[in-house]
Amino acid sequence: MKKQLPKPENWQDFEDLCKMLWGEIWKIPLKIKKNGRAGQNQNGVDIYGVPKGEKGYWGIQCKGKDDYTSAKLTVNEITTEVGKAKDFNPPLQVFIIATSSNKDVAVEEFVRVLNIENIKNGGFEIEIYCWEDIVDLIYQHSIVLDFYLKSIKFRNEYDFNITLNNSENDKTIISPLYYRGLITDVLKKQPAYNPRSMVRGNILDLTVGFDGFSSSKEKNMACCLLNFELINCGNKVLEDWKLLLQFEKRYKYLGYRNSAEKQNISDFLKSDLDIKDNNVVYCDEKPLIQRDKRDFELWITPELDLYEIQINWKILARDFSLEGNLILEIEPTYEMKNLTNEVNHSYEIKSPREYSKEAIIYK
């Protein structure tokens, strides 16, 4: 009898499946662990544990692939992940690559050869399990099979997906713009004496009006747009639903508009979008029917650094809930601008110095 099971729809589900499956295979269902959290450096290991009867750690790298985008596991990926796993601490005894990609003769041969070389060099064993291998293992463990079949049935009834800035995966790159360069002090030029300048009406106007808000003509280019798209990809209507977002507190601003734009009072009265600190709630009174979509926008000004922000999300609806996370990768870009700073006295002049600041432009 040919054993067939549909592949998990996303990498999170595949990782959960692998954790449960190898927990049963290793006979340590309560001791097998995920390595850190999404977005952290995991040294090539998603799941780890000490199998019953063994003394050292075994690690698993989960490579979720699918047939819809023709994504396949490559030898370059394998080489990269094996290299990362060598930094796992304490050193691994066995390193397993579990992939939902279909079996491939060339890939399996590559792993066999790499395994022998790595063992000769005093390293860990390397094994690969493709989707057909994993299906065989699932059928050998009834607890995992029952769990997986029930999850498939449930997903066919209710399912939900969220994307950020049309990204095809759970990582999205944003590139805030900053000015940077050198600040050079210069001696301020004194205006020539003019008696008429003392006459009311001819006084030099050196002041700028300020009404308590940023000019609506300004735009902060370090403040990036986040477009969230929600879709009901199940077979049942989602009723009485709301989406909860929780941002890691590693940013300068989070709001409805670009941080340099003037805020209208209506922005603070939105009934469908509520922002409090790092928590966002989005809801809609209308049911989210099958294949229907909703979208909304937020603006964020990250810190000036190369780093990641994790966004935890949770959809709550009648008879259904689901949660996951998205990762914002912050990759700042820079525009060179040298500035001058006027001082009144020569003793105030300092050596040129570097600066970085948010890029503000006029629309």
Label residues 270-306 b or e (16+ Cβ within 10 Å = b). eeebebeeeebebbbeeebeeeeebebebbbbbebee
Q: Does residue 307 belong to any structural domain of this protein?
A: yes
Q: Are residues 194 and 265 in the same domain?
A: yes
Q: Does residue 196 belong to any structural domain of this protein?
A: yes
pLDDT of residue 179: 95
Q: Is 326 helix (H, G, I), strand (E, B) or coil?
A: strand
Q: Does residue 260 belong to any structural domain of this protein?
A: yes
Q: Are residues 145 and 16 in the same domain?
A: yes
Q: Does residue 167 belong to any structural domain of this protein?
A: yes
Q: Are residues 103 and 172 in the same domain?
A: no
Q: Are residues 217 and 141 in the same domain?
A: no
Q: Indicate the residue among 157, 177, 194 that finishes a domain.
A: 157
Neighbours of 32 (CB within 10 A): 23
Q: Are residues 244 and 331 in the same domain?
A: yes
Going by pLDDT thresholds of 50, 70 and 90, the confidence category of residue 45 is very high
Asked if residues 21 and 35 have their Cβ atoms less than 8 Å apart, the reply is: no
| Number of domains the chain contains | 2
Share of the chain above pLDDT 90, in %: 64
Q: Are residues 182 and 53 in the same domain?
A: no
Phi then psi for 347, rounded to 5 degrees?
-70, -10
pLDDT at 281 over 90: yes
Nearest of 187, 167, 225 to residue 346 by alpha carbon: 187
pLDDT of residue 270: 55
pLDDT of residue 242: 95
pLDDT of residue 207: 31
Q: Do β-strands 58-63 and 94-99 pair in parallel, antiparallel, or remain unpaired?
A: parallel
Q: Indicate the residue among 157, 186, 202 that finishes a domain.
A: 157
Q: Does residue 229 belong to any structural domain of this protein?
A: yes
What are 242's strand-pairing partners? Answer: 283, 316
pLDDT at 42 over 90: no
Asked if residues 95 and 61 have their Cβ atoms less than 8 Å apart, the reply is: yes
Q: What is the CA angle 283-216-248, rounded to 5?
A: 45
Q: Is 10 helix (H, G, I), strand (E, B) or coil?
A: coil
160-181: per-residue pLDDT in tens? 999 999 987 888 999 999 999 9
pLDDT at 200 over 50: no
Q: Does residue 3 belong to any structural domain of this protein?
A: no
Residue range 104-119: mean pLDDT, rounded: 96
pLDDT of residue 44: 82
pLDDT of residue 350: 93
Per mean pLDDT, which range of 236-240, 263-267, 352-356, 358-362 is the poorest? 263-267
Residue range 284-313: mean pLDDT, rounded: 93
pLDDT at 208 over 60: no
Helix boundaries (H) for 55-104 = 75-85
CATH number of residue 90's parent domain: 3.40.1350.10
Residue type, 360: I
pLDDT of residue 211: 37
Q: Does residue 33 belong to any structural domain of this protein?
A: yes
Q: Are residues 206 and 343 in the same domain?
A: yes
Q: Tell me which residue range forms the domain holding 105.
A: 11-157
Residue range 20-25: mean pLDDT, rounded: 96
Q: Are residues 304 and 327 in the same domain?
A: yes
Q: Does residue 5 belong to any structural domain of this protein?
A: no
Q: Are residues 122 and 200 in the same domain?
A: no
Share of the chain above pLDDT 70, in %: 85
pLDDT of residue 53: 95
Asked if residues 84 and 44 have their Cβ atoms less than 8 Å apart, the reply is: yes
210-266: per-residue pLDDT in tens? 333 444 578 999 999 999 999 998 888 999 999 999 999 899 999 988 988 876 655
pLDDT at 93 over 70: yes
CATH number of residue 266's parent domain: 2.60.40.10
Phi-psi region of 162 (alpha: psi -120 to 50; beta: other; left: phi over 0): beta
Q: Are residues 129 and 266 in the same domain?
A: no
HSE-up of residue 316 (Cα within 13 Å, Cβ side) = 7
Neighbour-count burial of 317, counting CB atoms closer than 10 A to its CB (0-12 exposed, 13-18 middle, 19+ buried): buried
Q: Indicate the residue among 157, 180, 213 that finishes a domain.
A: 157
pLDDT at 198 over 80: no
Phi-psi region of 108 (alpha: psi -120 to 50; beta: other; left: phi over 0): alpha
Q: Are residues 342 and 325 in the same domain?
A: yes
Nearest of 191, 258, 248, 181 to residue 220 by alpha carbon: 258
CA distance 363 to 361: 6
Phi then psi for 311, rounded to 5 degrees?
-115, 110
Q: Are residues 70 and 185 in the same domain?
A: no
Average model confidence (pLDDT) for the chain?
86
* More confident site: 207 or 83: 83
Q: Measuring CA to CA, how many Å separate 213 from each of 206, 209, 216, 225, 244?
A: 20, 11, 8, 20, 29
